């Protein structure tokens, strides 16, 4: 018999995570199909669609004309087209912008609401999945499709997987589990994304940062050779002139207060506090630790003391 152990808002860092199933309700899956889908996405996204294989997934971004990021997403081949996973808070406006120039293209956009996204991570996660799948994705084949289910492999911060499955199939999947497994909410996956250094863009931070400011160049989520796409001219100019002024980091502090996404981050220099960046995402971890993802001016000494503006007693340090 299976035993599901429900965690009530207790989130663990990757190196302390037991076998865990994570309900990714804060993420959504968008599906793009039609004969012009590849060409259309080539003109919209920061990556080169021509080098995306059928068995791979990639981080990329959708930007506006000014080179500011609407959304960061995980893109891969799916069914007869492409799919991407992004934060649910941004999906409505992002897909509206994505569709804006599609009237003369043979392309369809769908937010798939009949499926669920499930994160699978923690101790012995690969052995767990071998009980249900013939093939498990890996570094050499990060995406597998099997019996109407899709599995994505992530290497960071430790091996983990994302399962795409219909609601009905997921109920059957759960019934077949015959060992103890923890159940957790989206905050657990958000923490793993922060630890991995993947930028998390929610609605409050749309159109605020260039891709380089959130490390998408370092993460190989930008093509500088593929030709035109929205924001390409400004993004390329930043690259070739080496004019990016910001980087993505994550900081750790102690406390149990709530911070608003987009809030200013300050650093202490000569006993005075100065604005140095912005808060992208935050997760409260067990024992009152706080992990936050921030965009900071790259001139900053990352070994400085930091704080969230308005919270004088909550200090943050580099992870």
- What pLDDT digit, counting tens, does each position of 29-72 carry? 999 999 999 999 999 999 999 999 999 999 999 999 999 999 99
Measured CA to CA in angstroms, residue 296 lies from 190, 200, 309 at distances of 20, 15, 14
125 DSSP 8-state letter: H
The response to whether 273 counts as a known ligand-binding position is no
pLDDT digits (tens, 9 = 90+) for 218-265: 999 999 999 899 999 999 999 999 999 999 999 998 887 788 999 999
**Which domains, ranges and CATH numbers included, belong to the chain?**
3-196 (3.30.1360.120), 245-318 (2.40.30.160)
The whole model's pTM is what?
Answer: 0.95
- Please give the Cα distance from 254 to 94 (Å, whole number): 34
Q: Please report the sign of the dihedral spanned by the C-alpha atoms of residue 39, residue 42, residue 48, residue 54.
A: negative
Report whether 153 belongs to an annotated binding site. Answer: no
Determine the average pLDDT of the residues in 195-213: 97
CA angle 118, 124, 129 (to 5 degrees): 50
Token pair recorded at residue 95:
């897909």
- Please state, in angstroms and rounded to a whole number, the distance separating the CA atoms of residues 73 and 114: 20
Residue 118 has pLDDT above 70, yes or no: yes
Mean pLDDT, the chain, rounded, equals 93
Going by C-alpha positions, the residue among 272, 274, 278, 275 that lies closest to residue 247 is 278
Q: What is the DSSP letter of 265?
A: E
Place of tokens 């060992």: 179
């Amino acid at each position: 018999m299976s035993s599901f152990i429900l965690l009530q808002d207790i989130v663990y860092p990757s190196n302390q995570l037991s076998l865990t199933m994570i309900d990714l309700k804060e993420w959504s899956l968008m599906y793009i199909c039609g004969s012009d889908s590849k060409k259309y996405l080539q003109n919209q996204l920061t990556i080169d669609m021509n080098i995306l294989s059928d068995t791979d997934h990639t981080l990329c971004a959708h930007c506006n004309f000014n080179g500011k990021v609407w959304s960061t997403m995980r893109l891969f081949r799916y069914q007869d087209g492409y799919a991407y996973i992004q934060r649910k808070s941004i999906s409505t406006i992002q897909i509206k912008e994505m569709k804006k120039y599609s009237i003369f293209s043979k392309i369809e956009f769908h937010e798939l609401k009949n499926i669920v996204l499930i994160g699978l991570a923690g101790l012995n996660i690969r052995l767990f999945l071998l009980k249900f799948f013939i093939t498990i994705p890996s570094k050499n084949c990060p995406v597998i499709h099997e019996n109407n289910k899709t599995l994505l492999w992530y290497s960071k911060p430790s091996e983990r997987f994302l399962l795409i499955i219909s609601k009905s199939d997921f109920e059957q999947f759960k019934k077949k589990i015959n060992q103890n497994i923890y159940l957790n909410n989206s905050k657990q996956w958000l923490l793993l994304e922060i630890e991995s250094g993947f930028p998390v863009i929610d609605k409050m931070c749309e159109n605020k940062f260039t891709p380089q400011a959130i490390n998408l160049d370092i993460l190989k989520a930008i093509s500088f050779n593929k030709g035109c796409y929205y924001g390409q001219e400004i993004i390329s100019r930043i690259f070739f002139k080496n004019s990016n002024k910001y980087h993505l980091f994550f900081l750790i502090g102690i406390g149990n207060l709530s911070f608003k996404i987009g809030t200013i981050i300050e650093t202490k220099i000569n006993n005075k506090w100065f604005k140095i960046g912005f808060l992208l995402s935050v997760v409260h971890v067990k024992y009152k630790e706080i992990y936050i993802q921030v965009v900071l001016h790259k001139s900053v000494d990352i070994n400085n003391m930091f704080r969230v503006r308005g919270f004088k007693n909550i200090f943050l340090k580099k992870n």
